[in-house]
Amino acid sequence: MGRWLLAVLGLGLAVLFGWLTVRSVDWAAAWHAFGAARWGFLALCVPLLLSSIFFRALRWRLILAAHPGARFTPLLLAAGVGVGGNAILPGKLGEAVAAHALGRLADLSRIQALGIQVITRVVDLLVLFALVLGASLVLPGLAMRSLRYLSGSIVVVATLVLVLPLVFRARWAAGLQRLMRDAVRRAFGAGVLDVAQKFGRGLASAGQLRLLVAFVLGTALLWLVLAASLYVALQAFGIQLSPLVAPLILGLIAASAMLPSAPGNVGTFHYFGLLALGVVGVEPGLAAACIITYHALDMLSALALGAVCAALAGAPLLVVWKPPPEVVVQKSASAAGLVDAGTSLPGSEPGARAGGAAPVTVTTEAV
């Protein structure tokens, strides 16, 4: 029920922000901007947008370096499925699809994959708003001062969240972990504790400084590539601004992604994109033409990636729930049939083999 409420709320916000966008734009000027755009140059956005899944998979591969099932190709497919899910599902349902794909294709539990997805979003916020902070320190204007405070606050909070796994891995924190486990078990039971521990293993993937730094650097590469694609779109519409403006716009659009939204952030993407371009002095009609076109290219790229990656991933994505391995009682097979290990056959000594046949150990596991 909660997810459907988020979806309905997202659709409502999409209508609200879409209406705010429509009423603030000179559509005659926007239509003129569409006609004056350099569409051949704009096509360069597409390979940059498509290449983003390589960096999404790379950062997962870095943080899951110790996990044998986290090979690059399955992670690449999971990243593509997640991007496609966010493009077609409202609310935050796309995040659940991304976590499901990561869990199934990288052989992680669903809760552990969700923990990794949470860390991924926190690092996204850290990197994006660090880029916004850097841009606001260089670019002039009164509005930049407010952005410095906002982006600086988000960077500090995201950094503190990422430091927590490092703290809990310290030796002196072992006692605190035991106290927390005991408190959760007494208050909620062993089932909730098991779920919490699996989620914690996902969060603990960022619990090594070396892996965390590599993950942050991989995320920085991802957002720099996306910023480059947006800068190409700005240039295609003749918007001559500093390259530092691209991460600034992406940061403000990312702020809208924290709200429940319609599929592909329709409405919220456009309104916050217009707001960001307005901060740097771009006329609303020209800004609307650029943002609408860039968002359309982003959506088409995401849908294509999602469809191709889901088709290549195939059957594993259809497994909604995978029970944990469960070893059943071992049996011994002999020439006289299957009997319990350690029992004797009629007419033989205890533990003797019938007909000299060697026992064969059979282990059954739930898949």
pLDDT tens, 67-115?
777 788 889 998 999 888 888 887 667 778 888 888 888 887 777 787 7
pTM for the structure as a whole: 0.73
Check residue 230 and give its pLDDT: 93
Average pLDDT, the chain: 75
pLDDT at 334: 38
Please state the rounded mean pLDDT for residues 167-175: 56
On the question of pLDDT at 1 being above 60, the answer is no
Report whether pLDDT(350) > 50. Answer: no
Strands lying side by side in the sheet with 331-334: 337-340, 331-334, 360-362
Q: Is the dihedral of CA 5, 11, 12, 17 positive or negative?
A: positive
What's the pLDDT at 167? Answer: 59
Q: Are the C-beta atoms of 89 and 101 separated by less than 8 Å?
A: no
Q: What are phi and psi of 308, to 5 degrees?
A: -65, -45
Tens of pLDDT, residues 44-55: 999 999 999 999
Closest alpha carbon to 10 in 260, 204, 300: 260
- The closest of 10, 43, 52, 125 to 302, measured between CA atoms, is 52
Tell me which of 223 and 206 has the higher pLDDT: 223
Burial class (CB in 10 A: 0-12, 13-18, 19+), 343: exposed
Spell 259-291 as b/e; 16+ CB within 10 A means b: bbbbbbbbbbbbbbbbbbbebbebbbbbbbbbb
Give me 210's structure tokens: 């070396």
Note the pLDDT tens digit of each residue in 263-276.
777 888 888 888 88
Query: Which element (helix H / strand E) includes 74?
Result: helix 72-88
322 or 178, greater pLDDT: 178
Whether the pLDDT of residue 145 is over 80: the answer is no
| Mean of pLDDT values over 160-179 | 62
pLDDT at residue 175 is higher than 50: yes
Percent of the chain residues topping a pLDDT of 70: 68
Q: How confident is the model at residue 291 (pLDDT cuts 50, 70, 90)?
A: very high
Residue 344 tokens read as 């004797």
pLDDT tens digits along 316-344? 665 554 444 443 333 333 333 433 444 44
* Number of neighbouring beta carbons within 10 Å of residue 166: 15
pLDDT tens for 13-42 read 778 888 888 888 888 998 999 989 998 888
Q: What is the mean pLDDT of residues 111-132?
A: 83
Higher per-residue pLDDT: 73 or 138 = 73
- pLDDT at residue number 360: 41
